A and B are shown apart, each in its own frame.
Chain A
Amino acid sequence: MNNDLLTLAPLITVVLGAIAVLASDMITPNRNHAPVAVALAALGATAALLINQGGSTASALGGSYVAGPFVAFVGLLGISIVAITLLIAPAYLAARKYPTAELAATLLFALAGAILLGAATDLITLFIGLELMVIPGYVLAGYAKRDPLSTEGAVKYFLLGSFSSAILLFGIVVLWGVAGTASLSGIATALASGEANAGLAVALALITTGSAFKIAAVPFHYWTPDAYQGSPTPITGYLSVGPKVGAFVLLIKLFVIALAPLATLWIPVMVVLAAATMTLGNLVALTQSNVKRMLSYSSIAHTGYLMVGIVAAGAGEAAGIAGILFYAAAYAFMNLGAFAFLTALQGRPGATTQLSDLAGLGRKHPRMAILATIFLLSLTGIPPTAGFFAKTYVILAAVQAGGPATILAVIAVLNAAIAAFYYLRVIVYLFMRDPAEPAVQVAEGPMLRAGLLIAAIGTVALGLAPTPIIEAVIQALAT
């Protein structure tokens, strides 16, 4: 029992941290900095525990929770995402009189879900982790409760999210029935020796549909643009990164581990979904004149690139999973950075994020514009940034896998060229247009600046010296 507690310590710390955040808000209400400080302390403690566990594996709860390098990687990535969000959000929320403590607590609960997701070795723990991660997301999408757009987005997100959870759960149940075990590796063993039957086909169809909703793959993406645009900007940043990374952990566990024997069946579906997801996401992003909405659609395109890794992994290339994990880390830094930049531009309540609002920013706020340029170049995939190496890693895995994955790799790089058009258009507005009148007010407090800086350092470091992360990723897969 003692060992179980030790193994579960990171998870418990996060949950206690969330409770401490709420308690601190009760003791000193309406103080924005106290809950953030408590949350950051909890994150720091969790990170230390995860790093400590990263060297070896240990199981708890009768083997349904396995701590080790994989959880450590997922957890540390989640901690970075939550920490950056907590740094950039308070000023924005305070200017609009929204509370900060609830955000901090909700994010910590979601992080607990992500850690559980990473550690899960059976279907039930996996599903609980998933729900624990996404339910806080519904709350966050409706954070601006007086704003009808935010409420609309939250309702859509909640309804479609619940439906997809139900579909996924139904698939999980059928799979459990067919395989006779809930353990992920047990399912793989059972499927490898058994024959295909109707029940399995139903399970595969339901699980694929449910998962596609969760990662917002085309054509199951309709909830994303509304949910993303309606939410307060820093929360949109979190929603476009956190739940997405979590959903891909789910995909790795369900498809690459449990359903591996059926790879020949699901790979063609994933290939089509991935190609459609990146192409449609990019084409629609091309037509957007609102930067926030453009980034929402571009996040759909990035889902498509990440799916290339799933396809490669399904074809038996471990580099596919490594590519997904690296991509997730790179994407977290560069996309949160881009949203931090948008957050800074919306210092005043009511400030919009139209492209024209960015005109001439390079002249008035050169440092801010250069940071934005780094994030945009990274999202485009221009070296030497994190985004470039992430794309390279995923494509390398696809090329190794060969067959349909190679074609997918070519589609992915052509898509990157489409994406270059709309990312670079933002740079055109930043540097090549005359300043807008009235000029945008940039609000950057010390916390927002720290958040921007962490995101920028991550974006550049992962591009110039990717070796530590590559080694962490390879180590995460060793178990």
Chain B
Amino acid sequence: MPILSLIIFLPLLGALGIAALPSSRPSLIRFAALGVSLITFALSLGMLVGIRGQSGEFAFSEQLSWIPSFGITYHLGVDGLSGALVVLTTLLSWICILASFGPIQTRVKEYFISFLILETGMLGVFLALDLFLFYIFWEIVLVPMYLIIGIWGGADRIYATIKFVLYTLVGSLLMLVAILATAFSHQAATGSWTGAFDLLALRGTITDPTLQILGFAAFALAFAIKVPMFPFHTWLPDAHVQAPTAGSVILAGVLLKLGGYGFIRFAIPLFPDGAQLFAPLMIVLSVIAIIYGALVAIVQTDLKKLIAYSSVSHMGFVTLGIFTFNQQGVDGAILQMLNHGLITSGLFLLVGIGYERTHDREIAKMGGWAVRTPVYAALFGFFLFASVGLPGLSGFAGEFLVLLGAFIANPMVAGASTFVMIFAAVYLLYMYQRVFTGPLSPFLKGLGSKLTDVTPTEILTLAPLAALVVIFGVMPTLLTSSFAKSVEIFLMSAISVVGQ
């Protein structure tokens, strides 16, 4: 059974089914979307179990001829790394759909259709092993996200959504040129288009030094914008602030990971020499992102913007870990991607829950929230400490391993980045103090009985994330062992190929 195709296209089929439902029955549409995303989640869990029993690098491979004139194939496969990210995607998708039940009241049908198409696009990116197919899914992700921010977003949504699309598009179009150049170099070397777009056939064969450098630069730009690395991060705060809650969650939880995944799966294995050449620059930019994101987060007055900038800082650890090219660093980077996906998603959900009640995110207006809504405050505190990197919660292991890897590569870099972990504690705890502790602020008092505590549905969206944060906090080896083979192969593929 082609389980990977099933996982990718089930949400799309669901979207088509929902298109046939009448717009006048919004609750039917909501539950249909939830049902589709839950089935997809269940399938992806089954896939995760199945990977363990498989030998070889990629499990459940599917390969069909698609555009034979250019050797383009429909090639899918999953390993420990992409398997974990697929499950993160399917998990966050149903959580987001559930979390959208209340907040999305206009054009419900269009919303859930967009969301399910988005899920198909994201899953396709993680499972594609053909560069052309990968690029198509990569671009498909743009359109529904563009609509989700642009239609259901805040006041400045149109500015934010166009900025998001244009930034991403510039990067990805240059990547397209690089993909085509890579494919052509393969065709020129072997005299045949067969395998010209296939990641597994191309890996380790690109020995042209110019292509190594330019190809890596083009791929890296596309991924750096997505991650986002400093200085390509400016679209992120705008997009996050304007997006509806579920949009922010998916953006932080999955879309940013597409960039990190792209580095590990495509950019570095295809262009190891280019990667080695650019690694110092990437490490410097990562450290700048870590420091800069944290410093800017301290002065934010908007809750969502604060978390957006904290994402820039946290994702800096991901790119830093990747470019250390050692096992600790890469393990840490992948852990950090997964944990950031769980923790920041939780924080964005919580900010959204607060916004539902106050219709405001201005930190200065808040204060003493814990007095009225103790459960909400406790959950917020939990995810906040996880984000700070409290040992025992999942955020710690990833950052620790990245720093360890950075220390092996360059102690100076590790020192600078470790220092920043104090800033993370500063901006998050300072924010928590202003929003939740002390006497109830006049603004919150003025809301009266509207300021209710979290509902059972909302707890349902947060509980799985919280549980995973604890489980992976205590036993990070559950994750590291699942993608150990992927990391091992990645480290081997990052070794120079030119001149061999």
Interface residues of chain A, those whose CB is within 8 Å of chain B, are: 363, 377, 381-384, 388, 392, 395-396, 399-400, 406, 409-410, 413-414, 416-417, 420-421, 424-425, 427-428, 431-432, 466-467, 470-471, 474
Contacts and interface: CB of A to CB of B under 8 A. Distances in A.
Contacts of A414: 170, 173-174
B146 A399 contact: no
A424 B181 contact: no
Contact of A413 (B147, B158, B177): B177
A365 to B, nearest CB: 14
Given A432-B151, A432-B158, A474-B69, A392 B174 contact: no
Contact of A388 (B68, B139, B158, B184): B139
B6 interface: no
A424 B162 CA distance: 8
The interface residues of chain B, by DSSP majority, are classed as helix
Contacts of B66: 467
B177 A410 contact: yes
A162 B69 CA distance: 41
A383 B162 contact: no
Contacts of B165: 420, 424
A69 to B, nearest CB: 16
Contact of B151 (A395, A421, A431, A470): A431
B169 interface: yes
B180 A396 contact: yes
B150 A400 contact: no
Contacts of A428: 150, 158, 162
A417 B166 contact: yes
Interface residues of B, number: 31
Interface in B121-159: 135-136, 139-140, 142-143, 146-147, 150-151, 157-158
Contacts, number: 78
B150 A432 contact: yes
Contact of A396 (B68, B169, B173, B184): B184
Interface in B154-200: 157-158, 162, 165-166, 169-170, 173-174, 176-177, 180-181, 183-184
Contacts of B173: 381, 413-414, 416-417
A400 B146 CA distance: 33
Given A395-B180, A399-B180, A417-B169, A384 B140 contact: yes
Contacts of B142: 382
B13 to A, nearest CB: 16
Nearest to B23: A366
Contacts of B136: 383-384, 388
20 contacts: A381-B173, A382-B143, A383-B135, A384-B140, A395-B176, A395-B180, A396-B70, A396-B180, A399-B184, A409-B180, A413-B176, A414-B170, A420-B166, A421-B162, A424-B146, A424-B162, A427-B146, A431-B147, A432-B150, A466-B67
A388 B169 CA distance: 13
Interface in B46-78: 66-70
Contact of A431 (B140, B150, B170): B150
Nearest to B65: A467
A421 B143 CA distance: 13
A399 B177 contact: yes
Lowest 5 CB-CB distances: which A-B pairs, in order? A413-B173, A383-B136, A396-B180, A417-B170, A432-B150
Contacts of B140: 382-384
Contact of B139 (A383, A400, A406, A424): A383
A413 to B, nearest CB: 4
Contacts of A421: 162, 166
A427 B158 CA distance: 11
Contact of B181 (A383, A388, A399, A471): A399
Interface of B: 66-70, 107, 135-136, 139-140, 142-143, 146-147, 150-151, 157-158, 162, 165-166, 169-170, 173-174, 176-177, 180-181, 183-184
A420 B173 CA distance: 11
Contacts of B162: 421, 424-425, 428
Given A381-B173, A417-B170, A471-B69, 7 more contacts: A382-B140, A396-B70, A409-B177, A416-B173, A424-B165, A432-B157, A474-B69
A224 to B, nearest CB: 26
Contacts of B166: 417, 420-421
A425 B68 CA distance: 36
Nearest to B174: A413
A431 B157 CA distance: 12
Contacts of A424: 146, 162, 165
A400 B180 CA distance: 9
Contacts of B139: 382-383, 388
> Which among A383, A388, A470 has the greatest number of chain B C-beta atoms within 10 A?
A383
Contact of A467 (B67, B174, B176): B67
Contacts of B181: 399, 406
B130 to A, nearest CB: 13
Contacts of A417: 166, 169-170, 173
> Which among A388, A424, A470, A474 has the greatest number of chain B C-beta atoms within 10 A?
A424
A239 B114 CA distance: 35
Contacts of A382: 139-140, 142-143
Given A424-B146, A431-B151, A470 B67 contact: yes
A208 B113 CA distance: 50
A279 to B, nearest CB: 15
A425 B165 CA distance: 11
Contacts of B177: 395, 399, 406, 409-410, 413
Contacts of B147: 431
Contacts of A377: 143
A382 B137 CA distance: 10
A450 B173 CA distance: 34
B69 A470 contact: yes
